[in-house]
Amino acid sequence: MLQRFCTFVVLAVLAWVSAFALGGCAQTGPVPGPAGAAAEAPAAAAPDEYRLGSGDKLRVIVFGEDSLSREYVVSGAGTVAFPLIGDVPAAGRSGRELANDIERKLRDGFIREPRVSVEVLTYRPFYILGEVEAPGEYPYTSGLTVLNAVATAKGFTYRADQRRVFIKRAGEAAEREVPLTGSVVVQPGDTIRIRERFF
Backbone angles phi, psi at 89, to 5 degrees: -60, 135
Q: What is the pLDDT of residue 199?
A: 67
Average pLDDT along the chain, 199 residues, taken 10 residues at a time: 45 46 41 37 43 93 94 94 95 94 95 94 94 96 93 96 94 91 92 90
d(CA 97, CA 52): 10
What's phi and psi for 87, nearest 5 deg?
-75, 130
- Amino acid in the structure at residue 163: R
Of residues 90, 157, 152, the one with CA closest to residue 126: 152
Question: Model confidence over 24-38: pLDDT tens digits?
Answer: 444 433 434 434 333
What per-residue confidence (pLDDT) applies to 43?
Answer: 31
114 Cβ partners below 8 Å, 6+ apart?
Answer: 62, 63, 65, 102, 103, 106, 107
Given a contact cutoff of 8 angstroms between Cβ atoms, the answer to whether 68 and 83 are in contact is yes
SS3 sequence of the chain: CHHHHHHHHHHHHHHHHHHHHHHHHCCCCCCECCCCCECCCCCCCCCCCCCCCCCCEEEEEECCCCCCCEEEECCCCCEEEECCCEEEECCCCCHHHHHHHHHHHHHCCCCCCCCEEEEEEECCCEEEEECECCCEEECCCCCCEHHHHHHHCCCECCCECCCEEEEECCCCCCCEEEECCCCCECCCCCEEEECECCC
57-122: what CATH class? alpha beta
Please tell us whether the domain made up of 126-194 is placed in CATH 3.10.560.10: yes
Domain ranges in the chain? Answer: 57-122, 126-194
pLDDT at residue 66 in the model? 92
